Structure 1
């Protein structure tokens, strides 16, 4: 994977990317606030339509920087699941969110009643969320991760991307009526998850598929049992931290951290 990072284009402009995605999301924030955060689909507000922004910005910048080569690079690895080596990184990526949720269920309040979605729909929801993660991860992972990891390491890149990622979502969270405490908890869970995504990218062959899988699993887990509106992020923080520390330990054991 070191070769992938060395080959990453030094023409990438991560700070310009971050500026553009923050500016272009403003109309979607306005629509979300104007509609009172009303859900459009799966409990998600109007801002969900903004998921195309990272892919659009990444594709335009990559094309201007490197033409077809740059465009191919930011979209690479989307379906090449065989690129992930060793294969057990899939278990790490897909298992992190369920582990965090299970530990959160053990240490936090246990909601009862009928789930917002039947459990048998879980695989379908995962597929839907995976498809929805693609346009975001083309930007956050395909465009940003290699360059920022080369410049700042796994932890630095994860903190930068994770912070931007959650600021990008912050207004929709608040418009939906979530408290600042809830937003802070979601921020911590998501930044820890983003550091894990960067670590997976660094150590499992690069590409978009692992990041999309982690992103999709985060959403799938959070929709149970009471939907996004009923999800409490704070009990999941220790579990996500534990999953990240476990992944870092595995990376060190393979002498490639």
Structure 2
């Protein structure tokens, strides 16, 4: 086993150990996450990927590699259009699903008040930090470039997407976790398709983790806004969102190709 494969395997094992141990204890306690021990365990589980990425990078490649990894969080000079993609792509998916719900199913969604703008910003910031966005240090920052060193971008994306979805598994049995109220299959389909969008954005911005974190946070915020307006989670709406992300992901692969999946010819290694 070469150095790169060994570091990837170590990352996966350490990530799952940190996250599944914390979430496993949380599931056994049966306590909903809040400002309590359960909240600490939930947060620790979510930070498994970035913690593992930093530890493995430091141990296998040294401090320079770790600095390079974390420096991508500050890679903000990427062009304003990519900020638009990170924030508005999830909005396109969510708003399209809401419109289809209204036109086809007669399922209406309350129009948000101006106060929702501040709430949306708060949800995005929370989701980008304690709500999942920092996972990207591990999945897109550590794993994806190493896989793309030997695989085409699309194959690497599928590997990341599948492992990423498996990693979420314990959350479906933890009381109070968002996933505990969601059907598994559309969540998995959407997640693997969304991995294509993450790769395209990451590669096109020369490895900007900042944009990947922002996309993660804004996607969660857009979906959370719909649930807050409806006070419900509708499985058919989730399926509609998943299928819309799949259509967009297929379009990106067709337009930009499987080799690099990027507006740039050179992959971000």
- Bin of the TM-score, shorter chain as denominator length: 0.7 to 0.9
Q: Secondary structure at the match of 1:205?
A: coil
- Rounded to whole Å, the distance in 1 between the matches of 2:52 and 2:180 is 31
1:144 is displaced (CA, Å) by 0.8
Decide which of 45, 50, 57 is 1:55's aligned counterpart. 50
> Are 2:91 and 1:93 aligned?
no
Give the match for residue 19 of structure 1. Answer: 13
The aligned counterpart of 2:66 is 71
Count of equivalent residues: 244
Q: Which stretch has the larger CA shift, 100-109 or 151-160?
A: 100-109
Give the TM-score normalised by the residue count of structure 1. 0.80
Please show how residues 103-118 of structure 1 align to structure 2 within 5 Å.
103-108=96-101, 110=107, 112=109
From 36, 48, 71, the equivalent of 2:30 is 36
Indicate the larger mover: 228-237 or 58-67.
228-237
Cα distance in 2 between the residues matched to 1:113 and 1:39: 28
Residue segments in structure 1 that go unaligned for 5+ positions in a row: 1-8
> Could you say which residue in structure 2 is the equivalent of 1:217?
218
CA displacement at 1:203 relative to structure 2: 2.0
Q: 3-state DSSP class of the match of 1:186?
A: helix
SS across alignment from 2:197: helix
- Equivalent position SS for 1:78: helix
The answer to whether the 8 Å contact 2:15/2:52 transfers is yes
Q: Is the 8 A contact 2:128 2:214 kept in 1?
A: yes
Structure 1 residue aligned with 2:155: 156
1:69: Cα distance to partner?
0.9
Q: Indicate conservation of the 8 Å contact 1:31/1:47, yes or no.
A: no
CA separation in 2, counterparts of 1:143 and 1:179?
28
Structure 2 gaps of 5+ residues are: none
Query: Does structure 2 conserve the Cα–Cα contact (< 8 Å) formed by 1:155 and 1:195?
Result: yes
Give the secondary structure class of the aligned counterpart of 1:81: coil
* Aligned mates of 1:202, 1:12 — CA distance in 2: 23
Structure 2 length-normalised TM: 0.77
Q: Distance in 1 between matches of 2:72 and 2:264?
A: 24
- Secondary structure of the structure 2 residue equivalent to 1:40: coil
- Determine whether 1:204 maps to 2:208: no
Distance in 1 between residues matched to 2:108 and 2:215, nearest whole Å? 24
* 1:123 is aligned to 2:117: no
Deviations 1:33-80 (A, max 9, x none): 224362427xx9753431221111111111112222111122122122
Q: Relative contact order: is structure 1 or structure 2 higher (C-alpha 8 Å, sep ≥ 6)?
A: 1
In 2 relative to 1, CA 238–127 (structure 1 residues): closer, same or farther, beyond 3 Å? same
The one of 240, 246, 260 aligned to 1:241: 246
SS at match of 2:151: helix
SS in 2 for 1:226: helix
